[in-house]
Amino acid sequence: MGLFGRMIVGMLPIVPRFFVGWIAKRYIAGKDLDSAVELMLRMQEQEGACFTVDVLGEEITDIAEAQGFIEEYERVLDRITEHRLDAHLSVKPTAFGVLLDERQASVNLERLLRKAAEQDIFIRLDMEDRRVTQATIDICLRMHELGLTNVGVVLQARLLRTPADITAITEKLGPAADFRICKGIYLEPAEVAHTGYREVVDAMNDCIEAMLDSGAYVGIATHDHPVIKHSLESLTARGMGPGIPDPRKGAAPERSGKGPGYEFQMLLGVRGNVRRRLKSRGHKSRVYLPYGDRWYEYSIRRLRENPDVAAHIARAFLMPWTNRR
């Protein structure tokens, strides 16, 4: 699939923008907040879906640009509350200025977290490339020190440092630690990351085991059948599952909008049939829902950074019945 994906990415310069938009509409909730809210209301009513909302855009070039993201996310918080949506936020630290001024980025994120805490809404700090891995973790820990415990972080299984990060975070936060674990879309060099499919899957499974054993909340973000199978087996082995209070010693009590110590998470438009099947069996299954006027840049970046995504999209395009939203 890697060669096929690279072939598709190689064709991107000649693909018309309107065609990219036509494909992207399956994976993006729309260009504005109204479109995103409309889709969430429909999916929540039709299938009881829950969400984590991402405003598209990242890596600002002027710290003043962060204000636009703060204000847009504040509008999202208000709409979540207004419509009683089962939704959290996902934010990218580079959009809040972490590469320009980490202190100011922390201040910006603190403002958003305080408003979210007032509305009992959780915020996830997305993990970007290795330039900001430590800074993202540091900001998460700093927010907990300020008493803002409605925040968690994403870790990427492909990074070699991740097992040590799991240990360090859980030692500091205990059961308040809240992770999303994913393979990681950023293809890093071999000196800092696993690069083969099997070793990334194995690393992902090991991270899930470590997180579950730590007592942390674990958002399992995957569309990969072997990882889902392993996760289900790991949950069963620990006496965890739908409708069962988290049995792990020292684990945090169930939080608003959360599952019993774990949940599954999948991208909008990708293997919705698998997500719905997990939900039908009682597992909390969350949709990662991006929206915004930077849909084109988001789409092209994801395809260029990880050509396998392009292959999945091509498969969904050619055989749409395999991949309903």
d(CA 163, CA 155): 9
- Here the contacts of 285-288 (C-beta below 8 Å, separation 24 or greater) are 285/49, 285/50, 286/50, 286/51, 286/52, 286/88, 286/219, 287/43, 287/49, 287/50, 287/51, 287/52, 288/51, 288/52, 288/54, 288/90, 288/221
Q: Residue 87: beta bridge partners?
A: 51
Question: What are the residues whose beta carbons fall under 8 Å from the beta carbon of 184, sequence distance 6 or more?
Answer: 127, 156, 157, 158, 159, 193, 200
* Domain ranges across the chain: 1-28+296-325, 30-291
Q: How many CB atoms lie within 10 A of CB 114?
A: 14
d(CA 122, CA 116): 7
Residue length, the chain? 325
How high is the pLDDT of residue 319? Answer: 55
Reported as a single tens digit per residue, the pLDDT across 261-301 is: 999 999 998 888 999 999 999 999 999 999 998 666 666 66
d(CA 313, CA 307): 10
pLDDT in tens, the chain (325 residues): 455 455 555 555 555 565 555 566 678 898 999 999 999 999 999 999 999 999 998 789 999 999 999 999 999 999 999 999 999 999 999 999 999 999 999 999 999 999 999 999 999 999 999 999 999 999 999 999 999 999 999 999 999 999 999 999 999 999 999 999 999 988 899 999 999 999 999 999 999 999 999 999 999 999 999 999 999 999 999 999 999 999 998 887 788 889 999 999 999 988 889 999 999 999 999 999 999 986 666 666 666 555 555 555 555 555 555 445 5
**CA angle at 152 for the pair 234 and 174, rounded to the nearest 5°:** 65
How high is the pLDDT of residue 57? Answer: 82
How high is the pLDDT of residue 140? Answer: 98
One-letter amino acid for residue 254 of the chain: E
Query: Does an H or E element contain 155, and which?
Result: strand 151-156
SS3 at position 43: helix
d(CA 247, CA 212): 11
How high is the pLDDT of residue 249? Answer: 87
CA 179 to chain centre: 10
Question: What are the residues whose beta carbons fall under 8 Å from the beta carbon of 50, sequence distance 6 or more?
Answer: 44, 86, 87, 257, 284, 285, 286, 287
- CATH for the stretch 30-291: 3.20.20.220
Say which DSSP state 196 is in: S
Q: How many CB atoms lie within 10 A of CB 30?
A: 18
Residue 90 near residue 288, CB atoms below 8 Å: yes
Residue 157 near residue 203, CB atoms below 8 Å: yes
Say which DSSP state 89 is in: E
How high is the pLDDT of residue 66? Answer: 96
Structure tokens at 257: 């909008």
Place of tokens 């500091």: 172
